[in-house]
């Protein structure tokens, strides 16, 4: 190889490495929800008991209030900012599946499991005037702080964990937070069962 070519090769290698590093960095940021974490949660903290079946860790994250126009009022979504549902694994075997859901955001959230029709992407459900999506066909939910299932349905408060164990057949599912405005703010994720 001539000396003239070597710098070109180094440039190519450096560019490739940079792309890899950037890709890994953004993936890690998403995985830890660091980009969406607001002030440290100050609410009730709790750990889930040992859960049956395939366990999926779900993280509910938001950027808090005030960043996109102040506190949410009257169910409006403009003040919500960005929020996310992050899953530790996108595919689980059919059968018993447990969702261990921690809220690292500053707002109360919940997690509802809905069937995802063939050909429909997560996040594509129509949002009603009340800021919520249709929960018809719901397979269950984790919407209780430090407890299983729907409970009183008051949601999982900041810093708390909720959980639910379901029997899921093969198919595509969408995990959503259906508090007013939250779906539109980005709180959905796909979970595939095979
Ligand atoms: Cu939410």
Protein residues within 5 Å, CB atom, of ion ligand 1? 109, 177, 179, 182, 187
Q: How far apart are CA 99 and CA 48, in angstroms?
A: 10
How many A from CA of 81 to the centre of ligand 1? 11
> pLDDT tens digit string along 75-87?
444 556 899 999 9
C-alpha pair distances (Å), 182 with each of 3, 52, 111, 131: 58, 29, 11, 8
> pLDDT tens digit string along 30-78?
444 444 544 455 677 899 999 999 999 999 999 875 444 444 444 444 5
Which burial class, exposed, middle or buried, applies to 180 when counting CB atoms under 10 A from its CB (0-12, 13-18, 19+)? Answer: middle
Encoded tokens for 182: 């939250």
Q: Are 77 and 32 within 8 A, CB to CB?
A: no
- The pLDDT assigned to 77 comes to 45
> pLDDT tens digit string along 2-17?
444 444 444 444 444 4
Highest-confidence segment of 4-18, 51-65, 147-161, 165-179: 165-179
How many A from CA of 178 to the centre of ligand 1? 6
DSSP designation for 156: B
- The pLDDT assigned to 65 comes to 59
The answer on pLDDT for 132 being more than 60 is yes
- The pLDDT assigned to 45 comes to 86
């Amino acid at each position: 190889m001539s000396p003239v070519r070597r710098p070109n090769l180094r440039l190519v290698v450096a560019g490739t490495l940079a792309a890899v590093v950037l890709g890994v960095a953004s993936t890690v940021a998403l995985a830890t929800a660091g980009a969406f974490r607001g002030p440290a949660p100050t609410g009730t903290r709790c750990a889930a008991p040992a859960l049956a079946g395939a366990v999926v860790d779900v993280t509910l994250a938001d950027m808090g209030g005030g960043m996109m126009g102040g506190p949410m009022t009257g169910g409006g979504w403009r003040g919500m900012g960005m929020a996310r549902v992050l899953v530790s694994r996108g595919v689980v075997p059919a059968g018993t599946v447990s969702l261990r859901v921690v809220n690292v955001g500053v707002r109360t959230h919940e997690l509802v499991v809905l069937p995802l029709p063939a050909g429909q992407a997560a996040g594509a459900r129509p949002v009603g005037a009340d800021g919520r999506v249709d929960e018809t066909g719901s397979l269950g939910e984790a919407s209780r702080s430090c407890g299983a299932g729907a409970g009183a349905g008051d949601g999982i408060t900041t810093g708390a964990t909720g959980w639910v164990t379901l029997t899921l057949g093969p198919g595509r599912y969408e995990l959503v937070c259906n508090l007013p405005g939250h779906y539109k703010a980005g709180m959905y994720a796909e979970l595939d069962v095979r």
